[in-house]
Amino acid sequence: MTHDVGFRVGDVLSVACPFTETRVEGLAWDYLTGYDIHPDDGIPFTFDLLFRPFAFLRPGDEVADAAGRAWRFDGPWDWHAFDGAAAPEGPEWPLTLLTRAGAPCVPEAAAAVAGATTTGSHQETLRHWTRLTDATPTPP
């Protein structure tokens, strides 16, 4: 198993072990208490990415939303409106990528963000994550 998996906060994963065909669904948090995965114990667990909210963005990206507000994306529940005003609903789609890694974005990245936010919404993405995980996001 590799230690450099490249996952980030908010990713929904499927974890499997080839030693069993059993699949468990709908676990409560208290059921999982005391169970650990030890990367160096030789058990070949696999991790598959099922869903990544806002996969088209990278931490630090700056975007403009359809309402004309500028935002910095630092993670799925870590958005910062540049105007400092409260924004419980998040940015209004579609989004326009302004910068990536502190530099003006390349056309391909801008097109990917625009295309990914043509339909749907910030809140719809969060509701989808909540349905998959049966959890509530905890803001940073």
Q: Which domain covers residue 21, as residue numbers?
A: 12-51
Summarised one tens digit per residue, pLDDT across range 78-109 is 899 999 988 778 999 999 999 999 999 999 99
Specify burial of residue 54 (Cβ count, 10 A radius: 0-12, 13-18, 19+): buried
Within this chain, do residues 34 and 93 fall inside the same structural domain, yes or no? no
- Evaluate whether residue 138 is within a structural domain: no
- 60: CB partners within 8 A, 6+ apart: 72, 73, 74, 100, 101, 102
- Evaluate whether residue 85 is within a structural domain: yes
Summarised one tens digit per residue, pLDDT across range 22-58 is 554 544 444 444 456 666 777 776 676 777 789 899 9
